[in-house]
Structure 1
Amino acid sequence: MAQTTPEPGVHSPGAPAAPAPVRRPRFHRAWSVAAVTFVTIVGAAAFASLPGLLIEPLHEEFDWSRGTIGFAVSVNLALYGLTAPFAAALMDRFGIRRVVAVALTVIAAGSLATVWMTAAWQLVLFWGVLVGLGSGSMALAFAATVTNRWFVARRGLVTGVLTAAGASGQLVFLPLLSWLVEDHGWRPAAVTVALSALAVVPFVWLLLRDHPADVGLAPYGAAGVVPKPAPVPGAARRAVTALASAARTGPFWLLAGTFAICGASTNGLVKTHFVPAAHDHGMPITAAASLLAVIGVFDVVGTVASGWFTDRFEARRLLAVYYALRGVSLLFLPMLLAPSVQPPMVFFIVFYGLDWVATVPPTIALCREHYGEDSAIVFGWVLASHQVGAAVVAFAGGVARDLFGSYDVVWYASGALCAAAALMSLVIRRRPAALAPAL
């Protein structure tokens, strides 16, 4: 009996069903999710703009030492980092929307509570612990999770844009917060941080979606729809298991070490101590805060460009260049501080701003290359080292200022550490494609 070939598009009985056509909209919703994530990080970035502005007002009002205030900031920075890997696992278990909405609420509560504090331990509890825990859940692991789920193509670019969102928030809030602190005191600034965090919650809840499969889409650049995975129980266990597995590999320790130096030379040093250091040289607080805001402008450019470079060049070599350039700039900074803003300081701000968090896209790319599906959680642990490094220098910088009357020794030490980070980056080996874990 002759066999007939079914006509195209006609399903023959007993034959496997043809795959469902992939829905390919002209404008992919992944870009809308990325936009909501960007706005969320911008809105939450106000809390990161305030610590450097609080050191002098709190010292004057409560007579707390700069080391004491720096300790509260260091607790905030350390918890920011240590919470991140657990937050990434919690996002797998409960969804991005729930985790981020709760985190923003905790940030608002902690910032608002500082208005009524009367003792240093309350600063540590409210700003250090509560804001630290909330901000840790809003850390870069959030951006990494969104990028990994919604994008296959353009991951480096999207990572750069979302990383730059924090700098954009700094740009938006620093001039406003410095004006509030200078003219109205630090309490209105703390209330502004709380309100900005709460204002973002509706956007997260109404517009953010956990997976492309929730709306019947394939990730941007993927060939087909990726089924939504079942909720992963045991978030804490998974975070610890991912750490234990990654800790047996050399790249993890090199990435963690370089990122610790990254945190020490940015959040711990410049973001926390640049304003009081400039004020020591006679520069008004508003002028110093405006310089930090300008860093935020060029950080956006540098980080987006770094994401573009990461899609095209070897990540470890990019890291080496970024750390080397940062170290050189920090060595020159003590000679540039003055009562007014001079052209050499403007050049430093532009140069340093381009490098501020340009390290993030290649670091995430290396985590993805070596650790596959666990890369967001592993990056969370790498980010924890970033914040531990930042916490150490936030505290040490305040102590150094109390002991020596100057921040100079901290600038020079951070420059030397950046040189070490550049060498460590070159030691990271590329993983052969055949051995790389499936994404």
Structure 2
Amino acid sequence: MTTDKSATLIQASEEPSGTTSEAAGWRTAVASALGLTVGPSVLTVMAFGAFIKPLDREFGWGVSAIGMAASLLSITVMIISPMQGYLVDRYGGRRLILWSSPVFGLSLMAMYFLPDNISVFYLAWALIPVCGLGLWPVAYLRLTAGWFERRLGFALGVANSGIGVGTVLVPLLTAWLIGAFGWRTAFLGLGAVALVAFPVAYFLLAEPNPRKTGVQTNGDTLSVATTRRPFWLILAAFFLLGLVGSSVTVYQIPMLLDAGVSEGVANLVPVALGVALIVARIATGWLLDRFPASLVMGVNLAGGIVAVLLFAAGPNVVTGIIAAALAGLLIGSEFDVLSYLVPRHFGRLSYGKLYGITFSVFQIGGAIAASVVGIVRDTYGSYTPAMLTLAVLCLVCAGLFLSLGPYRYEAAHS
């Protein structure tokens, strides 16, 4: 065992003494929610849009040129997701989180010194997600999953709810920081927020010990999993979910504006999506412990079909709120379902790798949709053709989930 002081610091309190496995498990689930609230899934993706106009005013780079950095961010996440999954399986989630937290926070703070050079800006947004390598969801979800068997779905829902909370709060915080102190200081503030993950991880997260939890860690290797039909069905389903989710989140406000909704009202409608997303995280987790994931996703995808059809029809304020809420229920359920399907169909041996690969495929779908939907709007003068296509894709996606078949690794009975 290494005697390095930093390694000792990170390994300390991995299994808190004086607590039961159940208490440590729920503490880990809540800590994961807190960590994901201030993680890169929120602090990069949800905060990025607020910086576009301030950067354009100061440097004059142009909105579309600045927006290219978001594409670089998505591409980087696609590349590093399988890598993170491998590292989480090999070294454990807690260790990666503790190392990544200060590096990620400092990378955001470094944006305070951004010069008038768009190449440096692009490089920064390619490096920032790498600096947060251990803070993307799979590290937290693998930790949480290791503590639970019978109530696995609900525990994962609690952990995943952190992204929903961050989705609502971080854009508001970012807008306030920019308005009150300027965009440079806003990056310092977001970096400070990111550092919260370190004490949360150090004092609250615990690596599960299978001898104490009774949770089996066996399962398929990655090579074996890729020979099985559910692996490819899940990849295809989450590629389609990436297309649908990205289309709605990116274009919901432009669709409302095209339909004649005022800008002030349109900017408030995404709050309905964010609130529904929080509800969906926890509710989906609870449902997964009681009903097959294919049925849960089938119901949520039916809601997604209604949502995109409402957007296709040209939403007003009321139908726009309904559509955003239904879309939020679908988007909020996606990663609860993924984090549940992996251990149930493939076991926990290669949890990180399988999650990371699927997350990467999901991101590819999202990147494609972000460009294609805009092209369709420019070509036809309307979002309707794209939304009607998404309705069909939701139906196909539901069929993929229903084709998964029974779980191979059922919850152990006490």
**Deviation at 1:57?**
4.5
Residue pair 2:247, 2:369 contacting (<8 A) in 1 also: yes
Residue pair 2:256, 2:314 contacting (<8 A) in 1 also: no
TM-score (norm 1): 0.76
Give per-residue Cα distances to partners, 1:280-318, cap 9 Å, x unaligned. Answer: 766446x55543333222212122111111111121232
> 1:31 corresponds to which residue?
26
> 1:292 corresponds to which residue?
270
**Deviation at 1:145?**
0.7
Q: Give the partner amino acid of 1:374.
A: S
Q: Please give the residue correspondences for 1:371-386 in structure 2 after superposition, counting only pairs within 5 Å.
A: 371-372=346-347, 373-386=349-362
Distance 1:43 1:276 in 2: 27
> 1:98 corresponds to which residue?
95
> 1:263 corresponds to which residue?
242
Q: Give the partner amino acid of 2:340.
A: A
Q: How many residues align?
A: 390
**Deviation at 1:177?**
2.0
Q: Give the partner amino acid of 2:321.
A: V
Aligned: 1:308 with 2:302: no
**Deviation at 1:99?**
0.9
Distance 2:342 2:91 in 1: 23
Structure 1 residues 398 and 132: CA distance shift in structure 2, 3 A: farther
Q: Identity over the aligned pairs, expressed in percent?
A: 24
Structure 1 residues 419 and 31: CA distance shift in structure 2, 3 A: same
Unaligned runs of 5+ in 2: 1-17
Q: Using the TM superposition, name which of 30-39 and 393-402 deviates more.
A: 393-402
Structure 1 residues 194 and 319: CA distance shift in structure 2, 3 A: same
Unaligned runs of 5+ in 1: 1-22, 230-240
Q: Please give the residue correspondences for 1:320-399 in structure 2 after superposition, counting only pairs within 5 Å.
A: 320-336=298-314, 342-372=317-347, 373-397=349-373
> 1:428 corresponds to which residue?
404
> 1:218 corresponds to which residue?
212
Distance 2:164 2:140 in 1: 14
Residue pair 1:80, 1:139 contacting (<8 A) in 2 also: no
**Deviation at 1:328?**
2.6
Structure 1 residues 291 and 190: CA distance shift in structure 2, 3 A: farther
Residue pair 1:77, 1:132 contacting (<8 A) in 2 also: no
Structure 1 residues 402 and 122: CA distance shift in structure 2, 3 A: farther
Residue pair 1:278, 1:288 contacting (<8 A) in 2 also: yes
Distance 1:306 1:412 in 2: 26
Match of 1:417 among 380, 390, 393: 393
- Aligned-residue RMSD, C-alpha: 3.5
Structure 1 residues 123 and 265: CA distance shift in structure 2, 3 A: farther
Structure 2 SS opposite 1:359: helix
Structure 2 SS opposite 1:172: helix
Q: Give the partner amino acid of 1:424.
A: L
Distance 2:142 2:407 in 1: 22
Structure 2 SS opposite 1:384: helix
Q: Give the partner amino acid of 1:427.
A: S
Q: Please give the residue correspondences for 1:30-179 in structure 2 after superposition, counting only pairs within 5 Å.
A: 30-44=25-39, 45-59=42-56, 61-64=58-61, 66-115=63-112, 116-127=114-125, 129-135=126-132, 137-179=134-176
**Deviation at 1:412?**
4.1
**Deviation at 1:67?**
4.6
Structure 1 residues 101 and 428: CA distance shift in structure 2, 3 A: same
Residue pair 2:177, 2:186 contacting (<8 A) in 1 also: yes
**Deviation at 1:254?**
1.4
Structure 2 SS opposite 1:150: coil
> 2:5 corresponds to which residue?
none
Distance 1:135 1:406 in 2: 38
Residue pair 1:78, 1:390 contacting (<8 A) in 2 also: no
Structure 1 residues 126 and 97: CA distance shift in structure 2, 3 A: same
